Amino acid sequence: MKIETCYSPLTYPLFHNAEAIVVVIDVLRATSAMVTAIANGATSMIPVATVEEAKALQVSGCLAAAERNGEKLDGFDFGNSPISYLDQQIVNKTIAISTTNGTQAIAVASEAKQIVIGAFLNANAVIQYLKDQKRDVVFLCAGWKNKFNLEDTLFAGHVANELLKTDGFETECDSTIAAGVLYEHAAQDLFGFLDKSSHRNRLSHLNLEADIRFCLQLNLYDTVPVSNGDGVLVSHTSLAKV
Amino acid sequence: MKIETCYSPLTYPLFHNAEAIVVVIDVLRATSAMVTAIANGATSMIPVATVEEAKALQVSGCLAAAERNGEKLDGFDFGNSPISYLDQQIVNKTIAISTTNGTQAIAVASEAKQIVIGAFLNANAVIQYLKDQKRDVVFLCAGWKNKFNLEDTLFAGHVANELLKTDGFETECDSTIAAGVLYEHAAQDLFGFLDKSSHRNRLSHLNLEADIRFCLQLNLYDTVPVSNGDGVLVSHTSLAKV
């Protein structure tokens, strides 16, 4: 099984593989929020590209989350802070969500065999799920406004490194090799390493240190949100093998 | 002065900065070939995106180089093997050149303040040139068919690391930080590190080990090919400060 890593949603068409599972990654913070919500009892999430779609779903009875440039938009129940999903009101609810980067990445991969939501919070669960599925894997890093970012790449590198220790997985993809090297470099202190990244500038004014530390926790949850074929994310335990 | 690194010509519009010098990098092998040609006496090179343009310039009296997928095309004087430019016939000649990745990257950056041609062969000369110019820098990695590649990224990381030791240069760009980390990891054995990359697969059938070892030599030449305003590459020593 081939592993490839796409650093920008803008280049995803170069990586499209109809047989692959696409792991969408937006560590800070959309996919961390999705994992947290599903792990804490939300029935499903509906990722949508536009704020208008999220609003329409809210009107029809869903909870709704909308974030742009790091901030929760007025009139919505949530933004993309994963900590905000540690709330009993999400239990057994469907949540529509639209974010700056993460849900855009999900949208560009809509033709994939299956979309899987990855974050450090569910890293081992994603690794085990991919080993079980025995399919080609494309890591799709949401990045920041279509540019490369470090945290999504580090997660891709971590999962790729683990898969490459498993019989049957291989890569000839330079971006996967680079991601693996970067993860090895940063693994001992993810927060410290990212402290050097552009996040300090693009997110520091939002007072997000608590969120960042939350998102960088490894393996807090065992759930893997996966697309159910209708573009809706549900826990993998509620789905049969693809 | 800001430093940014673009891993794919497809994403270059996100990095365009009218005041920046764009360093185009196609280590294996187009920019290594250009540096070798200018350093060994070619007066100028005319990078063109299409084979037809290269052929037309050949008909009008230039030498002409054309490469696609690693191979020299029939009817042209050169491909993109840098070693082939160690030939007295290039002295005082203008060479039109079209390659799979490198000249495409030059084409997408045509609106830049200036284009500079970078390769390990002229690394220190590029570093010194950029320090002297005191402008924002965008590293544009040609990559492989618009995908990230390791060797171009390593070169960007090397030059970025050196500039960042200099007062006035700074970066908030994750791809620049990542490139610098990768270069530090690989610097002691560039060939060995790249041996793990996709090059072994995409280029090994072409028997390019001699070319690869040539291209990975640091600082063999002092020349910096730069665009002269008409899209023609000449030695920086023949140009005034931009």
Per residue in A125-153, pLDDT tens?
Answer: 999 999 999 999 999 999 999 999 999 99
Chain A residues in contact with B7 (beta carbon < 8 A): 7-8, 148, 175
Cis peptide before A29 (omega within 30 of 0): yes
pLDDT tens digit sequence for A194-209? 886 665 566 666 668 8
- Note the pLDDT of residue A35: 98
Residue count of chain A, please give it: 242
Report whether pLDDT(A240) > 60. no
3-state secondary structure chain B: CEEEEECCHHHHHHCCCCCCEEEEECCCCHHHHHHHHHHCCCCEEEECCCHHHHHHHHHCCCEEEEEECCEECCCCCECCCHHHHCCHHHCCCEEEEECCCHHHHHHHCCCCCEEEEECHHHHHHHHHHHHHHCCCEEEEECCECCECCHHHHHHHHHHHHHHHCCCCCECCCHHHHHHHHHHHHHHHHHHHHHHCCCHHHHCHHHCCHHHHHHHCCCCCCCCCEEECCCCCEEEHHHCCCC
HSE (side-chain half, CA atoms, 13 Å) at B2: 14
Of the pLDDT bands very low, low, confident and very high (cuts 50, 70, 90), residue A29 is very high
- Note the pLDDT of residue A155: 98
* Residue B78 C-alpha from the chain's centroid: 17
Both tokens of residue A58? Answer: 């809210």
Chain B residues in contact with A198 (beta carbon < 8 A): 172-174, 177
CA nearest to B8 within chain A: A11
From residue A218, give the alpha-carbon distance in Å to each of A14, A44, A109, A152, A203.
Answer: 30, 22, 25, 14, 21
Residue with tokens 């939002």: A206
More confident call, A40 vs A101? A40
A174–chain B nearest CA distance, Å: 5
Between CA A194 and CA A212 the distance in angstroms is 10
Compute the average pLDDT of residues A68-72.
88
Of the pLDDT bands very low, low, confident and very high (cuts 50, 70, 90), residue A39 is very high
Q: What are phi and psi of A126, to 5 degrees?
A: -65, -45
Strands (E), A86-232: 94-98, 114-118, 137-141, 225-227
pLDDT above 90: percentage of residues in chain A: 85
- Note the pLDDT of residue B230: 85
Chain B residues in contact with A145 (beta carbon < 8 A): 14
CB contact under 8 A, B174 and A150: yes
DSSP assignment string, A65-104: EEEETTEEPTT-SB-S-GGGG-SGGGTT-EEEEE-SSHHH
| Contacts (Cβ under 8 Å, ≥6 apart) of B232 | B44, B45, B46, B94
Strands (E), A155-206: none
CB contact under 8 A, A148 and B175: yes
Which residues of chain B fall short of a pLDDT of 50? 241-242
Between CA B18 and CA A60 the distance in angstroms is 47
Mean of the per-residue pLDDT values of chain A: 93
- Note the pLDDT of residue B14: 98
A184–chain B nearest CA distance, Å: 10
Between CA B86 and CA B82 the distance in angstroms is 7
| Contacts (Cβ under 8 Å, ≥6 apart) of A127 | A159, A162, A163
Between CA A170 and CA A4 the distance in angstroms is 9
CA nearest to A201 within chain B: B172
CB contact under 8 A, A148 and B182: no
The partner residue sitting opposite A174, judged by closest CB among B146, B174, B197, is B197
From residue B164, give the alpha-carbon distance in Å to each of A38, A48, A213, B153.
Answer: 43, 40, 28, 16
Both tokens of residue B188? Answer: 């002691």
- Burial status of residue A212 (CB atoms within 10 A of its CB: 0-12, 13-18, 19 or more): buried
B175–chain A nearest CA distance, Å: 6
B222–chain A nearest CA distance, Å: 29
- Note the pLDDT of residue A198: 61
Cis peptide before B202 (omega within 30 of 0): no
* Residue A23 C-alpha from the chain's centroid: 7
CA nearest to B152 within chain A: A174
CA nearest to B175 within chain A: A148
Query: B66 with B54: CB under 8 angstroms?
Result: yes
3-state secondary structure of A58: helix
B148–chain A nearest CA distance, Å: 6
Q: What residues in chain A have their Cβ under 8 A from chain B's Cβ atoms? A: 7-8, 10-11, 14, 144-150, 153, 172-175, 177-178, 181-182, 185, 196-198, 201-202
Both tokens of residue A146? Answer: 């279509």
Report whether pLDDT(A242) > 50. no
Between CA A211 and CA B225 the distance in angstroms is 47
